[in-house]
Homo-oligomer: A and B are copies of this chain.
């Protein structure tokens, strides 16, 4: 009942290295099997199964079973934001001892990655900056809106504005546009249904592609052009 107790229990679930590794592996929004998760966490399937059962009964994960496979994913996108917040704090906590030797993989993550179902990293922040600069969207600290010119742009690049719009039929639809504080850039990028749509479009149009075995995404040459010419994104 007390929110503090529930808060602590959620945090405790993230507090085990094996579970944290499994959850981080789900950050790109894919649904993974127990065996795969056991692999990334470096534990046996039995142990992974026990962890996953706890996470699922706690409501943190949702399980989809088919045949002899069971796919696990976040129960709510809020989990992705939570993990980003955690990474943010973990990064700021960084001991000054080691002067941040960023491996190539880490560098790729900082350049561009998916944050659950939207784009993050320098790319994600640059997109947000460009859209704000052009007055297509406005981002507040905890909410965002799409301007009329933004609606025109989105329609032009093939995002179904009407389908994204506020007049949705369902009550529990995700918020259209919201800021998500970027873990590496420490500045907001675009989340919400708009973030999801932009991310999806970027994959479908071949502007970005996944980097094998990572949340990082690579911007294709075609994507470089598209982001610059269509969205007005400036590199850096």
Interface residues of A (CB under 8 A from B): 3-17, 19-21, 24, 30-31, 58-60, 62, 64-69, 71, 75-76, 78-79, 81-103, 106, 129, 135, 160, 180-181, 183, 186, 204
| Candidates B67, B86, B106, B135; contact of A103 at CB < 8 Å | B67
Q: How far is the CA of A47 from the CA of B91 in the complex (A)?
A: 28
Q: Nearest chain B CB to A38's CB is how many angstroms away? A: 15
Q: How far is the CA of A69 from the CA of B105 in the complex (A)?
A: 12
Q: How far is the CA of A96 from the CA of B60 in the complex (A)?
A: 9
From known contacts A6-B90, A82-B85, A93-B6, infer whether A102 and B66 are also in contact, taking CB-CB under 8 Å. yes
- In the complex, the answer to whether B75 meets A96 with C-beta atoms within 8 Å is yes
- In the complex, the answer to whether A76 meets B59 with C-beta atoms within 8 Å is no
- In the complex, the answer to whether A101 meets B7 with C-beta atoms within 8 Å is no
Contacts of A16 in B (CB 8 A): 8, 12
- In the complex, the answer to whether B181 meets A59 with C-beta atoms within 8 Å is no
- In the complex, the answer to whether B186 meets A66 with C-beta atoms within 8 Å is no
| Candidates B11, B62, B100; contact of A11 at CB < 8 Å | B11
16 extra interface residue pairs, beta carbon distance < 8 Å, beyond A12-B16, A62-B98, A82-B89 = A3-B106, A4-B17, A4-B21, A10-B89, A11-B15, A15-B15, A59-B96, A64-B101, A64-B181, A66-B181, A67-B102, A69-B183, A76-B89, A78-B85, A78-B88, A79-B89
Q: Nearest chain B CB to A96's CB is how many angstroms away? A: 6
From known contacts A81-B181, A181-B71, infer whether A86 and B10 are also in contact, taking CB-CB under 8 Å. yes
